């Protein structure tokens, strides 16, 4: 009889590509991963991994068994989901990830409501960029991820995931208080063509969106400063170092010395929750999505 935990270890190795990655995904030591794989090899009487430089690779037998392991674990997920649905109780552990402003803007209210309504539910959370959150759900490292895409730039979504909309998060432009356009009731992005921009780090989904959007308006952005946190971006605007676009969710208190001006064209990012379809019937996921949606309605009211 194949041991389920050993199959889970093999599946983690196949998904992460290394012993250390599998250990991190399973929240165990690398020694524990190696021991489980050794026991699995002994159990089936075939070699599953081989040395590959400083790392390891799956043998043909390892690839074959890993494919079966993925299907078996998916069926186990279906079974657990059905049992939870049959019991109808929101219990157990739920692992949720979100990009930083969603974690700040949604998690406190949503988690407080969940803890009050469902004391048998244990919540675990972490901050992840949208693409990383999607990958974590696909790998099974997270049960739910709160992700985003912009109105004109969708986030690629692999098969096997379900999703639910949480909110549309409007974005505004932020200028130094003494800027020549700071007293305007609204602005178009192309009016800021000659400005220094403060935005997210290179490679971040939101920076890609900003560059894509400005170029679509025949504006080549001059990115002078990069900062991951919106609070840092706003502080830099207040110091007169440039302008930025900032969404409303999780924005927090706007510092003195800046002016927030609505954009003439409604620009919004769509915030939604994603989870694996084989866990679709879990009451804990449904309860979490409902709580996140309610928190989103309050956060943007």
CA separation for the pair 235, 251 (Å, rounded): 12
Helix (H, G, I), strand (E, B) or coil at 183: coil
> Which pLDDT value is given to residue 301?
62
Question: In sequence order, what are the residues at sequence separation of 6 or more whose Cβ sits closer than 8 angstroms to the Cβ of residue 60?
Answer: none
Contact 35, 22 (CB under 8 A): no
> Which pLDDT value is given to residue 78?
66
Question: What are the tens digits of pLDDT across the range 112-129?
Answer: 999 999 998 999 999 998
Question: What are the tens digits of pLDDT across the range 123-166?
Answer: 999 999 898 899 888 878 899 999 999 888 888 888 889 999 99
CA separation for the pair 25, 16 (Å, rounded): 8
CATH 3.20.20.70 at 4-85, yes or no = no
Q: Is the pTM of this model over 0.85?
A: no
CA separation for the pair 30, 34 (Å, rounded): 6
Give the gyration radius of the chain's Cα atoms.
Answer: 23
Strands (E) across the chain are located at 49-52, 55-58, 92-98, 121-127, 144-150, 161-176, 196-199, 222-226, 244-247, 258-262, 268-276
- Intervals of the chain under pLDDT 70: 27, 78, 81-88, 300-301
> Which pLDDT value is given to residue 62?
83
> Which pLDDT value is given to residue 36?
86
The CATH superfamily holding the domain 89-165+270-299 is Periplasmic binding protein-like II (3.40.190.10)
- Give the domain 168-268 fold: D-Maltodextrin-Binding Protein; domain 2 (3.40.190)
CA separation for the pair 40, 192 (Å, rounded): 61
- What angle separates helix 100-117 from helix 283-299, to the nearest 10 degrees? 120
Residue spans of the domains in the chain: they are 4-85, 89-165+270-299, 168-268
For residue 191, give the nearest of 211, 173, 212, 170 by alpha carbon: 173
The residue behind tokens 């739920």 is 94
Question: What are the tens digits of pLDDT across the range 178-190?
Answer: 999 999 999 998 8
> Which pLDDT value is given to residue 84?
67
> Which pLDDT value is given to residue 86?
53
Q: For residue 139, what is the DSSP state?
A: H
> Which pLDDT value is given to residue 81?
63
Same fold, 4-85 and 89-165+270-299: no
For residue 279, give the nearest of 99, 182, 87, 143 by alpha carbon: 143
- DSSP string computed for 18-50: SHHHHHHHHTS-HHHHHHHHHHHHHHHTS--EE
């Amino acid at each position: 009889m194949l041991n389920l935990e050993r199959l889970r270890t093999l599946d983690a190795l196949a998904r992460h590509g290394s012993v250390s990655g599998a250990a991190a995904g399973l929240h165990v030591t690398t020694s524990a991963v190696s021991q489980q794989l050794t026991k699995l090899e002994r159990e089936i009487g075939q070699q599953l991994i081989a040395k590959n430089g400083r790392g390891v690779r799956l043998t043909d037998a390892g690839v074959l068994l890993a494919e079966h392991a993925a299907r078996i674990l998916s069926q186990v997920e279906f079974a657990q989901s059905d049992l939870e649905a049959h019991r109808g109780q929101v219990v157990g552990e739920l692992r949720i990830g979100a990009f930083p402003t969603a974690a700040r803007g949604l998690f406190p209210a949503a988690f407080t409501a969940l803890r009050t309504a469902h004391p048998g539910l244990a919540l675990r959370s972490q901050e992840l960029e949208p693409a990383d959150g999607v990958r974590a759900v696909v790998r099974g490292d997270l049960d739910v991820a709160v992700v985003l895409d912009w109105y004109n730039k969708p986030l690629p979504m692999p098969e096997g995931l379900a999703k639910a909309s949480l909110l549309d998060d409007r974005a505004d432009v932020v200028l130094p208080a003494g800027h020549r356009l700071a007293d305007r009731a609204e602005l178009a992005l192309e009016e800021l063509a000659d400005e220094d921009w403060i935005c997210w780090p290179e490679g971040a989904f939101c920076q890609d969106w900003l560059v894509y959007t400005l170029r679509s308006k025949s504006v080549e952005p001059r990115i002078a400063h990069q900062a991951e946190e919106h609070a840092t971006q706003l502080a830099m605007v207040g110091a007169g170092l440039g302008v930025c676009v900032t969404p409303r969710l999780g924005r927090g208190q706007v510092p003195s010395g800046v002016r927030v001006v609505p954009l003439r064209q409604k620009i919004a990012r769509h915030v939604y929750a994603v989870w694996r379809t084989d866990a679709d019937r879990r009451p804990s996921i449904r309860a979490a999505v409902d709580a996140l949606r309610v928190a989103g309605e309050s956060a943007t009211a």
